[in-house]
Amino acid sequence: MPYIRSLAVFTGVAMLMGTVPALQWPDTAVLAQSVWRRFASPDKKFSVLFPGAPIEVKQPIQEDGWQSTLYMYMVERKQESVLYMTAYIDYPFQFPSEAVPEGLASGREGMLAERGATLISEQAIELNGYPGTEFKYRLPDRSTGRARLYLVNQRLYMLVVETSKEQWLTKSIEGFLSSFQFSL
């Protein structure tokens, strides 16, 4: 199935870019004094809180006669040993509903294999009625990561946080992951 292979390609390419951490959704008063700012994608189809201005990386993707672009937005906080990333790819086809769970699992496996990571836990999630998966993993250097993948029509979204200091960043990681919003 080409759509399953392309999910693995997407997550593998995205994870080649490095680690990504997450943040916590602060209240409005804290946000005004914080480094956390809401970032909206150039096409205004999603937004997420980042601890600073993200850099954008574009990666062309070509597979099985179709092509697209992988868009990645990342903020690395070296002083906290954490990287936050949101990425997406638009497919030229919509995933059949029966293929979504297998596609998300394939994407997860592709990402873990590319990173040499070991799965710690996973759960099915959804956002605004769209299916997703959230999983936690351990990297070979003993740092940990959390990722969420969502399929929204023809777009696959990925949020990733990787850090060696998870115990100190738990609220920031959850806040980052929970701050993600999309529009159709």
- Integer Cα distance of 137 and 120 in angstroms: 5
Q: How far apart, in whole angstroms, are the C-alpha atoms of residue 155 and residue 30?
A: 32
- In this predicted model, what pLDDT tens digit does every residue of 38-66 receive, in sequence order? 999 999 999 999 999 999 999 998 877 88
- Can you say whether the dihedral through the CA atoms of 184, 100, 170, 54 is positive or negative? negative
pTM: predicted TM-score of the whole model, two decimal places? 0.80
CATH T-level topology, domain 2-182: Protein Transport Mog1p; Chain A (3.40.1000)
CB atoms within 10 A of CB 54: 18
**pLDDT score of 33:** 63
Is the sign of the CA dihedral 180, 21, 117, 60 positive or negative?
Answer: positive
Instruction: Name beta bridge partners: 158.
Output: 87, 149
